[in-house]
Structure 1
Amino acid sequence: MQNEISEPLLSLYKNFLNTTCQLPQITDEGLKNSQTHGKDLFSVYHELLNFIPKEYDSNLISFRVSTNPITSQVAGVLIKGMYPGLRDISVKMQHDVIDTLNSNYPCGGADNLRKEIENDEAWKNHLNEKKELFQKLDNITGIDPLNKEWHTWFDHYFDNLSFRFCHDLPYPCNKEACISSEVALEVFDVGNWEYNYIYTKSNKSILYSVARSLFLFEVFQNIQNKIMKLDSIKYRHNIAHDNTIASLLGALQITNLKWPGLGSEIVFELYRKENNPDMFFLRILYNGEPLQTSLKNINSWDMVPIDIFFQYIHTTFGTKGEILNYICNGIYH
């Protein structure tokens, strides 16, 4: 895509517009990566494990995307990687108001918790310590230091610099200087700290993560239905966002969280004991490794008896999600 930009806008954002991408849009390399990932998934779950069928079957396999077009772009090429001959497929999507894959559904309690987290002394001290870094970035990019969206955390700078890093593209420059690799790496470290603090380290993190993890309760329901033989689907693939994954990891109490990059994945695998069909176990993988957790009675979500997972969900969300409703309604103190 080649953008045509009027001169006033060009002069305002010229230091950031060294790109032919339009938000929201996956880059060519991102699409190639997604297709390769689809091929790899098929090689594991069909060729190695014979878990999914050779031919796509909607009674056994389900794909779902969020309302953000980026996830549909990824789904298209990922499915092509898994089933290259497939021409007709139904991909599920929830209404944008309640889309749990986007983690932005209405929840006043979550919004208030986020404000409380950003009002923590540790968070305010963090932003104060990084004033000089903000100043370096603003001076080069031309971003207004009074623009709150860019200065309540490093999210925007992280996004803009990380895609350049991943694609080996130059960082933004002005007439005098460019953002150096050292400054970019500092932004990445800061972004990781911020995500870790928001979703795991603040004393409000677990409440906030749970409030933004309604999708985890849906996963619990799907597993429960599968065990009760109420659902024929055996492979569900959901394509979401970094904040969705961060919320899930926070709700599962990951020991240390870094900003989830493109292609990050959480896999929930349900196992049944061969000689005891009523005994089930759950393994949760994050980027290919068993998820390490700070929960004292678990340590790792690796072949955990399913009753322990169910008990944790009931304790965290309620048996019918009522605790999540309490949090969203501000009843959490």
Structure 2
Amino acid sequence: MPNQRLSVVVTRRLPDVVETRLKELFDVELRDDDTPMRREEIAEAMRRADVLVPTLTDEIDATLLAQAGSQLKLIANYGAGVDHIDVHSARQRGILVANTPGVVTDDTADMAMALMLAVTRQIPQGLAAMQSDTWRGWSPLAYLGTRIGGKRLGILGMGRIGQAVARRARAFGMQVHYHNRRRLRPEVEDALEATWWESLDQMVARMDVISINCPHTPSTFHLMNARRLKLLKPSAVIINTSRGEVIDENALTRGLRAGEIAGAGLDVFERGHDINPRLRELPNVVLLPHMGSATLEGRIEMGEKVILNIKTFADGHRPPDQVLPGML
């Protein structure tokens, strides 16, 4: 659509610098408050916009796509994950889907390490004692955790983020192991000093820490199911900064309550912000509100990718971060 100022609807508040740039380039409708759009609002936006900019809080399914106007030609997702968008249905309707990959790699990997340390070193317990003024001085047995140096880390999903976690873990002296759909090239394995396991079952049974870094797809739903969680050592810790649906959350909660799993650090949850109340009550769990990618730098870079995808499309070219059904 060269030489045409596109109509763009953004479903959530974005950093000011991103919104300012969008207004300069496009005929854009921005969100006034930082709340998710209702389903009816999204449907209405899709009937009038050339481009929709949703986030992971927006479920863009086949039913919603059927209500889109003929002028809607691009869904420029603000975020890397697209499991909330029916990419197949969009393609059938001639609507392109783009995302923002690679931007939050380091931020998410940092958070995985932060959760790992928080769980193994009892940081939340120490923080709670200080904030409640119940700490009565140092004791040799107080807040005893375990060191991560020398421990075996099993990474489930060795894409950009998994590899970034591996690099950080090596700096902490951890032994890096991984399971992936495809084995990494030998030179990449060597650089990461990583050991590949063809069998996920065999890997998880031998690890001290499991880090979930794979996307949510039909094949990864409940990949860490009740049977596989029971393979974990009682001293093992599981970290998830990827997608909550990869873990059977009820089975994880039972394992943690029973002492079959030592601890968990979770930034994502199976039912979004509807957290299992039993999970909240457990002392060996650290829960965060999906803040793995929450850095100002990362959010701005995500916005820049969205703008580049829209601008490239407006110039009559394929968006650089177009998502194809075969990629999922």
Same fold by TM-score greater than 0.5: no
TM-score range, shorter chain: under 0.3
TM-score (normalised: structure 1)? 0.26
Task: Name the structure where helix makes up a greater proportion of residues.
Answer: 1
TM-score (normalised: structure 2)? 0.26
